[in-house]
Amino acid sequence: MRIPGIHSGEEVKAKGHYYAWLVIIIGLIVPFRFHLPVPVVSMDALLPVLEHISRYSTDQAASHATATAVAFPWFNLAGSFWIAGVIVFLTYHTIRHRCLLNMMKRWSAECTDGQALHLLQDVQANMKITRQVDLRVCPGIPSPMLVGFVRPVIFLPSDNIPDNELLFILKHELIHLKRGDLG
């Protein structure tokens, strides 16, 4: 018996993994870090040690090179490389995504199978999804997918999918729509 509001262990485990990876990815994308109000290492404790080391340093060239290396703002250079990498990454994936969408738009056709369209309407009604979702067939894709923020479309790789498989495919894609996975 399943009690509403109580999730199975597998469902909780999958959601936990999903949100843990989401936090990690956001942490890698956002370059800003929160700073603690109290420093972890006190500079007052380090200054006497650094003065002791610099007093006994005999090689002026080595100390000059160290001072120059410390004064170089390497974090500005690293930040510039990071921003350039983000721009290149986003540009590349945006172009690839647009090419995929154009290919799917060009090679897809409206689904004319009345039984499949009726099945889609039934699944939408059972899941209480009121948005209009189109069903198209695109032989150029390897698996079914949901595309579109404003006007969602389910693309099928073939129009001769058995009804029992089509039911699960439509439920799967509509769950993505209902959970807002496209965002």
Give yes or no: residues 159 and 124 share one domain. Answer: yes
pLDDT computed for residue 58 by the predictor: 47
Compute the distance between CA of residue 115 and CA of residue 125 in angstroms, rounded to an integer.
15
The structure tokens listed for 50 are 């650094």
Give yes or no: residues 175 and 126 share one domain. Answer: yes
Give yes or no: residues 103 and 127 share one domain. Answer: no
Give yes or no: residues 124 and 161 share one domain. Answer: yes
Report which DSSP code applies to 5: T
Report yes or no: 134 and 153 within 8 Å, Cβ to Cβ: yes
84 part of a folded domain: yes
Domain boundary among 49, 82, 107: 107
Q: Which domain holds residue 83?
A: 72-107
pLDDT (average), residues 108-121: 92
Domain boundary among 60, 80, 107: 107
Report yes or no: 134 and 120 within 8 Å, Cβ to Cβ: no
35 part of a folded domain: no
Give yes or no: residues 103 and 156 share one domain. Answer: no
26 part of a folded domain: no
pLDDT surpasses 60 at 66? no
Give yes or no: residues 113 and 168 share one domain. Answer: yes
For residue range 116-154, what is the model confidence (pLDDT) as tens digits?
999 999 999 999 999 999 999 998 889 999 998 889 999
Give yes or no: residues 138 and 170 share one domain. Answer: yes
pLDDT computed for residue 92 by the predictor: 97
Report which DSSP code applies to 31: -
For residue range 150-181, what is the model confidence (pLDDT) as tens digits?
899 999 998 788 888 999 999 999 999 999 88
25 part of a folded domain: no
Compute the distance between CA of residue 28 and CA of residue 32 in angstroms, rounded to an integer.
9
Domain boundary among 54, 89, 107: 107
Give yes or no: residues 169 and 117 share one domain. Answer: yes
Compute the distance between CA of residue 47 and CA of residue 173 in angstroms, rounded to an integer.
61
pLDDT (average), residues 106-120: 92
pLDDT computed for residue 13 by the predictor: 80
Give yes or no: residues 166 and 133 share one domain. Answer: yes
Long-range contacts, 171-177 (Cβ 8 Å, 24+): 171/123, 171/127, 172/144, 173/144, 173/145, 173/146, 174/123, 174/124, 174/127, 174/129, 174/133, 174/146, 175/127, 176/146, 177/129, 177/131, 177/133, 177/146, 177/152
What is the pTM (predicted TM-score) of this model? Answer: 0.57
CA distances from 39 to 36, 45, 71, 73, 124 (A): 6, 12, 21, 21, 55
CATH number of the domain at 150, please: 3.30.2010.10
For residue range 27-65, what is the model confidence (pLDDT) as tens digits?
888 776 767 777 666 666 667 766 766 665 545 555 555
Provide the domain count of the chain.
Answer: 2
What amino acid is encoded at 134 in this protein? D
Give yes or no: residues 95 and 154 share one domain. Answer: no
Please tell me which residue, 98 or 61, carries the higher pLDDT value. 98
pLDDT computed for residue 16 by the predictor: 85
Give yes or no: residues 134 and 159 share one domain. Answer: yes
